[in-house]
């Protein structure tokens, strides 16, 4: 309630409400609520529902929290497999978050990805040497930083120092923060990242954009980031294949000339074997006494299967009184004896 009130109403009432962020107020209120309620009561918060940060008694106990690597395990193949997996997963997640963060940034700054991965790799090496967990960029923290007015990498550096100082100096106070407060903050941040308005915009862009977007969002919510991205990528590839199948060629039917139907077929920039069925259907549907103008000037890649279709059609065209004119960067040829020779490709060897 505090977060919704702060973001929708109070933040518009004065600058003080923009300087003091709603999530910070929610955390403070959560700590105060814990102090003034009995953890055993119906409305209290038990210790299992609070943040749990290790509290060292002295310097020796603080140092004992660090664990140093066992270099004898470096010859273990499983260590290398796990290391490679962590590096791949962390790098992919960071690159995805970098792209999302750059889009959220109102100043449209562009993050240097190579430097980001180098810094992350260096940090992970140092973290591993003292027994720490791998680090990666997280969209929740990045978006919260942007929404709080952060404009440079200094905010991230200060954020890191604040975390370190807080863990060292006030771990007992951190352990009084209810997990429900942090969950509410994450829900609000997540809502800002995926508002219903965004779904509506993607829906109006058409099913080719909406379906991969929806699958990605649902996959991330019900599994995790990488699996969700993988599901969206797979659906996106299917959509691309369907689009490629539909846009392999363009037909332009003109009026009759010299008693023949004149039809111009313009092939797309890339025509693969996925387009074989569509092009074959168009060629077989051409009426008798047709003048076919085949424009391949914009085609940069023409699959050999497509050329074989054209080769077979050249023989059928003679029987159906269909004249063929090829327009390409190499020149204009009428009724070629062989499409394979024209495109300077060798036919496939028969098995």
Assign 3-state DSSP to the chain and report helix, strand, coil percentages, each to 5.
60, 10, 30
**Model pLDDT, residue 118:** 92
User: For residue 307, which of 264, 331, 275, 282 has the smallest C-alpha distance?
Assistant: 275
**Phi/psi class of residue 53: alpha, beta or left (left: φ > 0; alpha: ψ in -120 to 50)?**
beta
DSSP string of 85-98?
Answer: HHHHHHHHHHHHHH
Q: Does residue 11 contact residue 21 with C-beta atoms inside 8 Å? A: no
User: For residue 223, which of 211, 231, 234, 235 has the smallest C-alpha distance?
Assistant: 231
**Model pLDDT, residue 349:** 42
Encoded tokens for 7:
């973001």
**Phi/psi class of residue 289: alpha, beta or left (left: φ > 0; alpha: ψ in -120 to 50)?**
left
Q: Give me the sign of the Cα torsion angle 193, 197, 199, 204.
A: negative
Residue 130 CB coordination number (10 Å)? 11
**Model pLDDT, residue 32:** 92
**Model pLDDT, residue 350:** 41
Q: Distance between alpha carbon 317 and the CA centroid of its chain, in Å?
A: 47
**Model pLDDT, residue 298:** 85
pLDDT digit string (tens) for the chain, length 351 residues: 778 887 777 777 777 777 777 888 889 999 999 988 887 887 888 888 999 988 888 888 888 888 888 888 889 998 898 888 888 888 888 888 888 888 777 777 788 889 889 988 999 899 888 888 888 887 777 877 777 777 777 888 888 898 889 988 898 999 999 999 999 988 887 787 778 888 888 888 888 888 998 998 899 888 877 788 889 889 988 887 777 666 666 666 665 656 678 888 888 888 888 788 888 888 888 888 888 889 888 888 888 888 888 888 888 888 888 899 988 887 788 888 788 888 764 444 443
**Model pLDDT, residue 253:** 64
33 sits in which H/E element = helix 22-35
DSSP string of 219-244?
Answer: HHHHS-HHHHHHHHHHHHHHHHHHHH
- Residue 131: DSSP 8-state: T
**CA neighbours closer than 13 Å in the CB half-sphere of residue 243:** 10
Domains of the chain: 247-342 (3.30.750.24)
List the beta bridge partners of residue 294: 265, 326
Task: Report the predicted TM-score, pTM, of the whole model to 2 decimal places.
Answer: 0.59
DSSP string of 266-318?
Answer: EE-SEE-GGGHHHHHHHHHTPPSSEEEEEE-TT-SEE-HHHHHHHHHHHHHHH
Q: Distance between alpha carbon 324 and the CA centroid of its chain, in Å?
A: 45
Q: Does residue 279 contact residue 250 with C-beta atoms inside 8 Å? A: no
**What is the number of residues in the chain?**
351
Rounded-to-integer distance, Cα 29 and Cα 218, Å: 33
């Amino acid at each position: 309630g505090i977060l919704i009130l702060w973001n929708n109403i109070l933040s518009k009432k004065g600058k003080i409400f923009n300087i003091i962020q709603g999530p910070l107020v929610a955390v403070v209120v959560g700590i105060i609520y814990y102090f003034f309620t009995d953890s055993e009561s119906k409305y209290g918060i038990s210790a299992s529902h609070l943040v749990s940060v290790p509290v060292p008694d002295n310097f020796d106990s603080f140092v004992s929290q660090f664990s140093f690597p066992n270099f004898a395990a470096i010859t273990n193949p499983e260590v290398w497999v796990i290391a490679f997996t962590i590096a791949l997963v962390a790098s992919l997640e960071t690159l995805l978050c970098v792209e999302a963060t750059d889009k959220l940034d109102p100043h449209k700054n562009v993050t240097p990805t190579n430097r980001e991965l180098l810094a992350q790799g260096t940090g992970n090496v140092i973290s591993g040497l003292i027994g720490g967990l791998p680090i990666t960029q997280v969209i929740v923290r990045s978006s919260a930083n942007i929404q709080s007015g952060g404009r440079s990498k200094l905010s991230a550096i200060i954020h890191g120092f604040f975390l370190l100082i807080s863990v060292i100096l006030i771990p007992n106070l951190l352990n009084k923060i209810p997990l429900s407060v942090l969950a509410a903050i994450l829900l609000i941040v997540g809502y800002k990242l995926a508002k219903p308005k965004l779904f509506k915009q993607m829906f109006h862009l058409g099913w080719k954009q909406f379906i991969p977007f929806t699958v990605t969002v649902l996959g991330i919510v019900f599994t995790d980031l990488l699996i969700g991205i993988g599901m969206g990528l797979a659906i996106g590839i299917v959509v691309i294949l369907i689009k490629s199948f539909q846009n392999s060629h363009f037909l332009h039917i003109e009026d009759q000339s010299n008693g023949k139907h004149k039809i111009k077929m313009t092939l797309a920039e890339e025509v693969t074997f996925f387009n074989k069925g569509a092009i074959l259907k168009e060629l077989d549907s051409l009426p008798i006494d047709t003048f076919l103008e085949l424009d391949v000037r914009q085609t940069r890649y023409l699959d050999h299967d497509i050329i074989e279709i054209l080769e077979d059609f050249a023989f059928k065209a003679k029987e159906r009184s269909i004249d063929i004119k090829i327009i390409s960067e190499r020149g204009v040829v009428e009724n070629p004896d062989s499409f394979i020779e024209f495109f300077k490709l060798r036919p496939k060897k028969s098995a």
